[in-house]
Amino acid sequence: MKLKHFLQFNDLSKDDIYYLFQRAKWLKDQFKNYKKYWPLEDRTLVMIFEKASTRTRLSFESGMQQLGGSAIYLNTKDSQLGRGEPVEDAAQVISRMSDVVMIRTFEQEIIERFAENSRVPVINGLTNEYHPCQILADIYTYIEHRGSIEGKTVAWIGDSNNVCNTWLQAAELLNFNMHVSTPKGYEVEVERAGLYDDSHFEQFENPMDAAKGAHLVTTDVWTSMGYESELKERKSIFADWQVDKEMMNEADKDAVFMHCLPAHRGEEVTAEVIDGPQSVVWDEAENRLHVQKALLELLLIGRV
Ligand code: CP
Ligand code: NVA
């Protein structure tokens, strides 16, 4: 089988993505009905974390176990990774002792260097630039709740971060529209987001205008991991980029609200919205498990 990595959303084709969604649905059904399915027996996933995580670690670790395999957790604090061992050397060694590697790190360049030296598939579990597993789960969740996303409008309110960049790549690949509103100075950078052009998104100065008519409204923390020194400054700059009831009222009447979590109620979103009837955040979080199991299956054994 040809070695395949998932380092950014468009590493998969549109066809692969819809195949994954179909498998995720089947895997979710098996899981809900306590049916054993162990295609990855004796396979090992190594998870490398340079940043904190709850959902990503849990969904990959339990997902791997549910597929019959096992998962090993490494972090930079208590491995040689944090003591200057070259990424290339670490990739050579780790990929000789495992079957698949998931990495959460800082610059995208780190994971790309790792993948170039890896004998096994590498999955991006979040970098400064992208969070592709998150958007697989988000789009799968939208489809579960509302059907096809093609031609729909997704409003992104807040920081043009890793999650936003990945939504934009997905819009190009799956043909939907993005309305993005960020404070001045935090706008989307087409090249950094890995986009072909700007034809699938529009930037709005006023977040209320971005939300208008949207079928999905989504946001994320104002300060992502790695940018903590900007926390105070960002709190005041982003104050008007809060998703509240008034903003949701601008969206389509059937609009759903999503957040990759962890959330800060009273900052990027009000409690009324995230805990309200339009919010699908718990399904969104759970679906990380199901789509990533489909991804592990695809990268390790191909289509079944
Ligand atoms: N959404 C997400 O990736 O959550 P964690 O940081 O908890 O993994
Ligand atoms: N943008 C956030 C996502 C956390 C899951 C961060 O990078 O910290």
Closest atom of ligand 1 to 58 CA is: 8
Please give the residue range of the domain that contains residue 192: 133-284
Q: Is residue 180 part of a domain?
A: yes
**Cβ of 284 less than 6 Å from ligand 2:** no
Q: Are residues 91 and 140 in the same domain?
A: no
Q: Return the pLDDT at 79.
A: 87
Q: How many domains does the chain have?
A: 2
Question: Residue 216's closest CA among 256, 275, 268?
Answer: 256
| Residue 210: inside a domain | yes
Query: Is residue 159 located within the same domain as residue 255?
Result: yes
Kindly tell me if the per-residue pLDDT of 291 is higher than 90: yes
pLDDT in tens, 88-108: 999 999 999 999 999 999 999
Ligand having the closest approach to the CA of 127: 2
Residues 142 and 272 in one domain: yes
Is the distance from the beta carbon of residue 54 to the nearest atom of ligand 1 less than 6 Å?
yes
Q: Is residue 64 part of a domain?
A: yes
pLDDT digits (tens, 9 = 90+) for 189-248: 999 999 999 999 999 999 999 999 999 999 999 999 999 999 999 999 999 999 999 999
Domain presence at residue 2: no
94 Cα to the center of ligand 2, angstroms: 25
Cα–Cα nearest to 268, from 156, 142, 135, 132: 156
On the question of pLDDT at 161 being above 90, the answer is yes
Check if the beta carbon of residue 203 is closer than 8 Å to that of residue 181. yes
149 and 246, same domain (yes or no): yes
> Does 271 reside within a domain?
yes
Q: What is the pLDDT of residue 77?
A: 86
Q: Do 35 and 98 share a domain, yes or no?
A: yes
Residue 3 resides in a domain: no
Do 35 and 86 belong together in one domain?
yes
Is the confidence at residue 81, as pLDDT, over 90?
no
Question: Do 261 and 201 have their domain in common?
Answer: yes
Is residue 159 within 6 Å of ligand 2 at its C-beta?
A: no
The answer on 119 and 48 residing in a single domain is: yes
Give, using CA atoms, the residue closest to atom 7 of ligand 1.
54
Statement to judge: residues 144 and 261 lie in one domain: yes
Comparing 82-86, 92-96, 166-170, 235-239, which segment has the lowest mean pLDDT? 82-86
Bridge partners of 24? Answer: none
Q: What is the CATH number of the domain that holds 79?
A: 3.40.50.1370
pLDDT at 218: 99
Q: What is the mean pLDDT of the chain?
A: 97
pTM for this structure? 0.98
Residue 271: which pLDDT band, with cuts at 50, 70 and 90?
very high
Could you tell me if residue 160 is inside a domain? yes
Claim to verify: residue 141 and residue 274 sit in the same structural domain: yes
Domain presence at residue 118: yes
Q: What is the predicted pLDDT for the residue at 90?
A: 96
Return the active site residues. 104, 131, 134, 220, 260, 288
HEC string of the chain? Answer: CCCCCECCHHHCCHHHHHHHHHHHHHHHHHHHCCCCCCCCCCCEEEEEECCCCCHHHHHHHHHHHHCCCEEEEEECCCCHHHHCCCHHHHHHHHCCCCCEEEEECCCHHHHHHHHHCCCCCEEECCCCCCCHHHHHHHHHHHHHHHCCCCCCEEEEECCCCHHHHHHHHHHHHHCCEEEEECCCCCCCCCCCCCCCCCCCEEECCCHHHHHCCCCEEEECCCCCCCCHHHHHHHHHHCCCCCECHHHHHHCCCCCEEEECCCCCECCCECHHHHCCCCECHHHHHHHHHHHHHHHHHHHHHCCC
pLDDT at residue 299 in the model: 98
Q: Are residues 154 and 262 in the same domain?
A: yes
- Within this chain, do residues 161 and 83 fall inside the same structural domain, yes or no? no
Q: Provide the pLDDT for residue 40.
A: 98
Q: pLDDT over 90 for what percent of the chain?
A: 97
Q: Could you identify the residue written with the tokens 């999905």?
A: 216
